[in-house]
């Protein structure tokens, strides 16, 4: 068990909550136009290229995790969140259904505790902050200790932006010296927690006694059938697998490839910068990625492929950005069929689409159930059958998984940095956590003409038959 919370930490948590509630009261009369303008100001302050690049580099250098060159590209997510927020109402009447006599009114969710993951410092604060501000919530950020400076700097910028425009800065607050007991206390006294991070963090949020949106583990698996555009599939795999050194839960983990195109795809993946490990190197890689009990080793998460190879005891050629492991077995003892969280990819071969579906089922029994999968195919029946079969909350068709399933400018998924995994993943929602999750809704019901079918219509063929 961890240490108990100190009296000073309890007092700090209460002080943060009190300031947050005062800030909410100060903005409760803001109209939609004023709130939208503040959202734009906060988004620009954090997502302009110069600032976000500085914050992204700061987060990589502070934590030692992720890709220094690639992480600044995540700024597009803040812009997408702003786009989605600006196109929706968040106060007053947000929906009307005259036929049912229903009118829905939006209200703030309250004070939100936001647990910031180490790999998304600078993005999570801005994204969650925009959605919270849009709904006139206040939000208190609890940083990961390994990215504490980045989170505090990001929130400092957000607070300064509010103050510059005459709004109370305490709409956004951040714990300066994070600890597990303090985070737990914050979750217990706030109205809602949004927990993006590892399983322990999510379990703590769910056990806080207050409502929480959590996420589940990933193990993204892509089916590539005989109709796929091989060049597109290989390029998108590289984009997804190498994004931030494969640290995202949406990063491609497994490819399930039809036998007739398997060799050509493998060749194309190598042209895209993949390195096909030998059987001997595979054994070395397994030893360095997992400990003797099958747990992922933390010092190999989100590290460059060349560094991981070096730690394992072999070298990969210059220009190779990810490693490809041929795999035939699926199961808890076949560790390469589980989530890798680094630029390592497992590739499986199948014959017959029914076998591909069965392999997908087996992979998600190992891990990642509820999160996401994808398919490269132009066969609508294959797409339909995978959608019916896969125990996931989102499925991308012909898209780079880690850049698409949390929202992209060329698909309709809500923009977010938090993805619910549904009951499969132990979460309350299987949606992308977005604006609707930051508000409460009052349903107003007016009388309508009676809508009562006859008993004969309701019971159908069973009406007036013999009863037991």
How confident is the model at residue 59, as a pLDDT? 96
Positions of E strands within 54-165: 92-97, 102-108, 111-115, 138-142
Confidence bin at 463 (pLDDT 50/70/90): very high
Decide: residue 454, CB within 10 A, 0-12 exposed, 13-18 middle, 19+ buried.
exposed
To the nearest whole number, what is the mean pLDDT of the chain? 96
pLDDT tens-digit profile of 123-153? 999 999 999 999 999 999 999 999 999 999 9
Q: Once rounded to an integer, what is the mean pLDDT over residues 361-380?
A: 97
Catalytically active residues are 249
Please give the Cα distance from 264 to 258 (Å, whole number). 11
Which helix (H) or strand (E) segment is 125 a member of?
helix 123-134
- Ordered by where they begin, the domains of the chain are 9-217+431-444 (3.40.605.10), 221-401 (3.40.309.10)
Which 3 state secondary structure label does DSSP give 316? coil
pLDDT-derived band at 49 (thresholds 50, 70, 90) equals: very high
CB neighbours of residue 463 within 10 Å = 11
pLDDT score at 2? 73
Q: Is the dihedral angle over the CA atoms 150, 152, 155, 159 positive or is it negative? A: negative
pLDDT classification of 247: cutoffs 50, 70, 90: confident
pLDDT at 207: 86
Residue 201 has pLDDT above 90, yes or no: no
Which residues face 139 on adjacent strands?
A: 112, 172
107 pairs with which residues across the strands? 440
pLDDT given at position 188: 96
The pLDDT confidence band at residue 415, using thresholds 50, 70 and 90, is very high
Which H, E and C letters describe 335-396, residue by residue?
A: HHHCCCCCCEEEEEEECCHHHHHHHHHHHHHHCCCEEEEEEECCCHHHHHHHHHHCCEEEEE
How many alpha carbons fall within 13 Å on the CB side of residue 155?
A: 26
- Longest Cα–Cα distance of the chain, Å, equals 79
Q: What is the mean pLDDT of residues 232-261?
A: 95
pTM: 0.95
Q: Is the pLDDT of residue 1 over 60?
A: no
Average pLDDT over every residue of 172-181: 96
Spacing of C-alpha 89 from chain mean position = 24
Q: Tell me the three state secondary structure of residue 39.
A: helix
Give 196's pLDDT tier (boundaries 50, 70, 90).
Answer: confident
Helix (H, G, I), strand (E, B) or coil at 466: coil
Q: What is d(CA 120, CA 197) in angstroms, rounded to the nearest whole number? A: 9
**Percentage of the chain exceeding pLDDT 70:** 100
Average the pLDDT over each of 68-72, 126-130, 452-456 and give the range with the smallest value.
68-72
Rounded to the nearest 5°, which phi and psi values hold at 398?
55, 50
When pLDDT is averaged across residues 103-126 and rounded to a whole number, the result is 95
**What pLDDT score does 430 carry?**
94
pLDDT at residue number 300:
96
How far is Cα 85 from Cα 166, in angstroms, rounded to an integer?
21
Average pLDDT on 417-432 reads 93
Average pLDDT rounded to a whole number, residues 435-462: 97
What backbone torsions phi and psi does residue 127 show, to the nearest 5 degrees? -65, -50
The answer to whether residue 91 scores a pLDDT higher than 70 is yes
pLDDT of residue 84: 98
Residue range 305-364, pLDDT digits in tens: 999 999 999 999 999 999 999 999 999 999 999 999 999 999 999 999 999 999 999 999
CA distance 215 to 202: 7
Among the listed residues 225, 210, 452, the one whose alpha carbon sits nearest the alpha carbon of residue 352: 225
The least confident of 43-47, 261-265, 464-468 is: 464-468
Query: 3-class DSSP state for residue 334?
Result: strand
Residues 6+ apart with CB under 8 A from 259: 349, 350, 351
Residues 6 or more apart in contact with residue 120 via CB below 8 angstroms: 74, 196, 417
pLDDT at 278 over 90: yes
Q: Which of 87, 89, 152, 106 is nearest to 125 (CA)?
A: 152
- 388, 395 contact by CB (below 8 A): no
């Amino acid at each position: 068990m961890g240490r108990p919370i100190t009296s000073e930490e309890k007092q700090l948590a209460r002080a943060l909550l009190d300031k947050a509630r005062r800030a909410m009261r100060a903005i409760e009369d803001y109209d939609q136009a004023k709130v939208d303008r503040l959202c734009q100001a906060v988004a620009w302050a954090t997502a302009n290229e110069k600032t976000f690049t500085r914050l992204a580099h700061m987060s990589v250098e502070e934590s030692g995790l992720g890709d220094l060159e690639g992480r600044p590209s995540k700024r597009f997510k803040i812009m997408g969140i702003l786009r989605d927020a600006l196109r929706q109402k968040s106060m007053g009447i947000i929906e009307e259904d005259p036929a049912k006599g229903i009118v829905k009114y939006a209200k703030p969710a309250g004070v939100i505790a936001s647990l910031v993951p180490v790999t998304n410092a600078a993005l999570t604060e801005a994204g969650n902050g925009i959605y919270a501000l849009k709904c006139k919530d206040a939000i208190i950020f609890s940083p990961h200790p390994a990215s504490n400076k980045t989170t505090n700097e990001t929130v400092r910028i957000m607070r300064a932006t509010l103050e510059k425009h005459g709004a109370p800065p305490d709409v956004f607050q951040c714990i300066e010296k994070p600890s597990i007991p303090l985070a737990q206390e914050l979750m217990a006294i706030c109205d809602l927690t949004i927990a993006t991070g590892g399983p322990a963090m999510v379990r703590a949020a769910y056990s806080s006694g207050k409502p929480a949106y959590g996420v589940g583990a990933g193990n993204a698996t892509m089916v590539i059938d005989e109709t796929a555009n091989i060049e597109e599939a290989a390029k998108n795999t590289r984009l997804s697998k190498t994004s931030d050194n494969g640290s995202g839960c949406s990063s491609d983990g497994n490819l399930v490839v039809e036998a007739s195109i398997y060799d050509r795809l493998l060749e194309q993946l190598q042209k895209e910068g993949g390195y096909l490990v030998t059987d001997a190197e595979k054994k070395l890689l397994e030893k360095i990625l997992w400990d003797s009990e099958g747990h992922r080793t933390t010092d190999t998460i989100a590290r460059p492929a060349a560094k991981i190879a070096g730690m394992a005891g072999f070298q990969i050629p210059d220009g190779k950005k990810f490693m490809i492991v041929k795999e035939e077995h699926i199961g808890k003892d076949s560790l390469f069929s589980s989530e890798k969280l680094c630029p390592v990819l497992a590739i499986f071969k199948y014959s017959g689409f029914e076998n591909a579906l069965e392999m997908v089922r087996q992979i998600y029994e190992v891990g990642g159930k509820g999160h996401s999968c994808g398919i490269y195919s132009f066969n609508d029946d294959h797409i339909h059958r995978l959608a019916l079969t896969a125990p996931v909350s989102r499925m991308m068709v012909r898209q780079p998984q880690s850049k698409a399933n949390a929202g992209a400018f060329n698909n309709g998924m809500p923009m977010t940095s938090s993805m619910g995994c549904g009951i499969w993943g132990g979460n309350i929602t299987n949606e992308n956590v977005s604006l609707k999750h930051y508000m409460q809704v009052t349903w107003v019901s007016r009388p309508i003409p009676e809508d009562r079918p006859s008993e004969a219509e309701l019971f159908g063929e069973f009406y007036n038959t013999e009863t037991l």
